[in-house]
Amino acid sequence: MSKKVLVTGASGFIGSHLVEELVKNGHQVRAFVHYNSANSWGNLEHLPKSVLEQVEVILGDVADPFAVEKAVYGCQQVFHLAALIGIPYSYIAPSSYVTTNIVGTMNVLEAGRKYDVDRIVHTSTSETYGSAQYVPIDEKHPLVGQSPYSASKIAADKLAESYYLSFNSPVTIVRPFNTFGPRQSMRAIIPTIIAQALTRDSIELGSLDPIRDLTFAKDTANGFICAAKSELSLGKTINLGVGSGVSIGELVNLICSILEIAPNVLQDPNRVRPEKSEVSRLISNNSMAKELMGWEPKVSLEDGLLETVNFIRANIGQFKTSSYVV
């Protein structure tokens, strides 16, 4: 049955993919986009016209409870993706992460409780685990705030959990592992590598040693949808990951192989995270997602990278490769 659903953070990378998949699934979609004077809808503007014309776009700020209440009113489900997510920028402006990620989440939870929504799917992040104390990482792994970003997301997750336990709010927490794909900005490692490789003689990166579990955007978006459909996921925190890892160095070689160029990598000290803040290894245990929601990733790393390369090549003018994007 078609539902009216709200996606906060809809102009973002994952949000735009989720909006697209929800429309394809026949839902009425309301997209909550951060207010800006240019009336930019961000990544939603990359959606096919046939999809975008079915989306109700409203501008606001997730940190404003009145704007959030207006957005939630009349919706049966809420997919909460609005957040500040850049780890390096959280070193510069930690207060803004508290306001957006924690206060914003409380506003969504309160509005959902006020209007008695059927389901709230809250977005966590694998960064909440910190450096792996064991792998693969299951949902029982300790949470470690190794950056102001991850600390703010841990707090937001616990707020979501508290609303389920205190008020019986129908909350599910999904914890994506390093989603990638078309529309992602150079804040993330894969677009950074690809865009530099397409436009420069060398690729400037931080550490090449961290290992990441890379999940394609469409798979992650479908994980959100599976979470909203599953009664067994209520009150649970569920990993969305592939279950295998690749180092940044290996990733560079794979991308350069796709581009048919020889890698020339330089280390930029400005891109190296503080030693105690760097998360060295993230590999998911996704068995709970399979068991409770019937979800598992379908797109291979190689196929996802090829699709991402094609998108960035077609939109290379949008990528600023001359400076470090935090």
| pLDDT tens figures, 60-93 | 999 999 999 999 999 999 999 999 999 999 999 9
| pLDDT tens figures, 141-160 | 999 999 999 999 999 999 99
Q: How is 111-150 classified by DSSP, letter by letter? A: HHHHTT-SEEEEE--GGGG-S-SSSSB-TTSPP---SHHH
Measured between alpha carbons, how far is 186 from 193 in angstroms, rounded to an integer? 8
pTM: 0.95
- Written as six digits, the tokens of 129 are 């685990």
pLDDT score, position 187 = 87
Task: Give φ, ψ of 284 to 5 degrees.
Answer: -85, 150
pLDDT score, position 257 = 96
Measured between alpha carbons, how far is 226 from 234 in angstroms, rounded to an integer? 12
Q: Which residues of the chain fall short of a pLDDT of 50?
A: none
- Written as six digits, the tokens of 318 are 């949008």
Angle between helices 301-314 and 189-199 (to 10 degrees): 50
